[in-house]
Structure 1
Amino acid sequence: MNGFTISVPASSANIGPGFDSAGMALNRYLTLHVQESSEWMFEHRSKHLPPAEAAKDHFIYQMAERMASEFEAVLPPCKVIVESEIPLARGMGSSASAVVAGIELANQVCRLELNQEQKLEWATKFEGHPDNVAPALLGGLIITAETKQTDKVEYFQTSNLNMDLVLYIPDFELKTETARKVLPETFSRTDATAASGIGNVMIAGLISGNYELAGRMMEADLFHEPYRASLIQNYDEIRQAAKEMGAYGTVISGAGPTMISFAPKGTGESIVKGMQAVLPDYSVELMEVDRNGLRVEKLQLCK
């Protein structure tokens, strides 16, 4: 087996009222350089990653092993060098990227020949919901749904977002489990109807190009942002300052603590400059939508 590289983008999920259903791939990447070895080894080369664990304890290996076992396949030993531009526990889909990478690792070394639909189904099963794994796998903005009528993830995908994206990444973590604990277990029919309507109009605005409308709906979310706002430092200040600088809307990225602004095309650089002055302890970055999703390069299958 000659070496190959797996690349998986970061993602920003939830997107206001798109709770557990709307996600977008970003141009930051988790990259695996894989080569044949006499035993399983992982090496980390990133400031965003802790020291590599023993192979059998490594999350990506565990995902690959789980995928292989589903097809009664055996993982041949590999050395995997892991590079990452995705900070952990920041609301940028680091877990989902690792899940997709693990599935693809097994797909390649075990020759499973999985198609995109199968990868999405398994990634959703492993991750628990599709809003991060779908864009990490497929790229673009993806709206997903799981229904009782089908046994697959239904989705709509588009890459035609003519906007700038500005992320505000703090130097502290927020675990998804913590962010989920503050959410209500149930909603009244009246509240659920209002929240669903806001989400529907936001998606219509994004797809039709009415970004001002979409931005207003993002910031009107009733599903999760009102409950998580107290967990996000500078939440109100970031939204207000970004709005004053021209952003359509600003929301929590994933479960936080990172936040993301959707802004008119061409205004992103000025917003980055202005917001960096407001948030000197943050990494304020202009990003783009990744349109490709998972990529595998320089692949040669086992003999």
Structure 2
Amino acid sequence: MVITVPATSANLGPGFDTLGLALNLRNEIEIIPSEKQEIEIYGENADFLKKLPRNYFVEIFTEHYKYLTDKEPKFKFKFNNKIPLSRGLGSSSAVIIAAITAAYEAAQVPYKKDKIINLALNYEPHPDNITPATLGGFCVAKLRKNRVYFLKKFIPTYLRAVIVIPNRPISTQRSREALKKTYPLKDVVANISSSSMITAAFFSEKFDILKYIVEDKIHQENRMKLVPDLFKVREIALREGALMSTLSGSGSTFFNLAYKDDAYSIYAALKDNFKDFNVKILNFDNLGVKVYN
């Protein structure tokens, strides 16, 4: 069995813990029956992951597989990682969603994707990454009474993502420490209106309006101060025609939405100004986690 899962960009500015979308940058895990457990890791952060005392994917997979089958798993796991760690691209959510899905597939127990999302809450309490990682596309998600309610919209093929991955991470914990404890009512209202408009723009495919309405008053500015170059990234991207330019998750990656015909000029300008950063043009992913048997 081979399972692949996409990177995600969450928050999208004002949609804090609510909005997210899937990018065609995928981790791939091959799972092979074996007499003893073996783990091979390739790609992004492989050397670091090999040194960890435990493998998060295998741990979650084992927990669910044993629950579903009452058997000890006997598999070889081969990881080919494309999603970098601690860069705001949903690496943890990708692991969680892939592991739970893989356990159900290996146990040959039928499931629906909404079940996978809700099981993932045990490991990741914020639905803005786990939902698009599972479903693909642009997702709006709300957590209520330990259940995720969501809506998904396919992202048109005439759009591209231009992402900028700085040469240093921001841990989610440190990024959350940058947040204020209280906010003025006017700032909360600004975020509600902006996130509502973003949702309407995606569902109605009126993307030109995004450049006028994407405004965040809750988290983005304080988090960007942890990597000050990101202010210049946003300025250049918007100047070159990006429809929106937002911190990806808790950072440090910056996400830019663009029409396909504008994507290369944005990419070139960012690449020229940030030679030490990794700049990529990506398609969007509309399928979410996928399994090949």
> What TM-score comes out, normalization by structure 2 length?
0.93
Deviation for aligned residue 1:71? 4.3
* 1:59 and 2:56 are equivalent in the alignment: yes
Query: 43-52 or 260-269, which moves further after superposition?
Result: 43-52
SS at match of 1:202: helix
Q: Structure 1 CA distance, aligned partners of 2:38 and 2:253?
A: 32
Stretches (4+) displaced over 6 A: none
**Amino-acid identity (%):** 26
Q: Contact conserved, 2:155 with 2:286, CA < 8 A, in 1?
A: no
Contact 2:66 2:73 in 1 (8 A): no
Equivalent position of 1:81 in the other structure: 78
Matches within 5 A, 1:27-38: 27-38=24-35
1:294 to 269, 274, 289: 289
Matches within 5 A, 1:100-249: 100-148=97-145, 151-161=146-156, 162-218=158-214, 220-249=215-244
1:40 equivalent to 2:37? Answer yes
Q: Secondary structure of 2:285's partner?
A: coil
Q: Which residue of 2 aligns with 1:11?
A: 8
User: Residue 41 of structure 2 contacts residue 50 of structure 2 at CA under 8 Å; is this kept in 1?
Assistant: no
- In structure 2, the partner of 1:262 is 257
Secondary structure, aligned partner of 1:231: coil
Cα distance in 1 for partners of 2:172, 2:35 equals 37
- Supply the distance in 1 between the matched residues of 2:43 and 2:173 (Cα, whole angstroms): 25
CA contact (8 A) 1:166 1:272 kept: yes
User: Equivalent residue of 2:291, what SS?
Assistant: strand
Q: Larger deviation: 48-57 or 19-28?
A: 48-57
Return closer, same or farther for 1:27/1:160 CA change in 2, 3 Å cut-off.
closer
Report the Cα offset of residue 29 of structure 1.
0.8
Report the alpha carbon displacement of residue 288 of structure 1 after superposing the two structures with TM.
1.1
Measured at CA, do residues 34 and 69 of structure 1 come closer, stay the same or move farther in structure 2, by a change above 3 Å? closer
Contact 1:11 1:92 in 2 (8 A): yes
TM-score by length of 1: 0.90
Amino acid at match of 1:195: N
Letter in 2 for 1:136: A
Query: Unmatched 5+ residue regions in structure 1?
Result: none
Change (3 A) 1:191 1:270: closer
Superposition deviation, residue 67 in structure 1 = 2.5
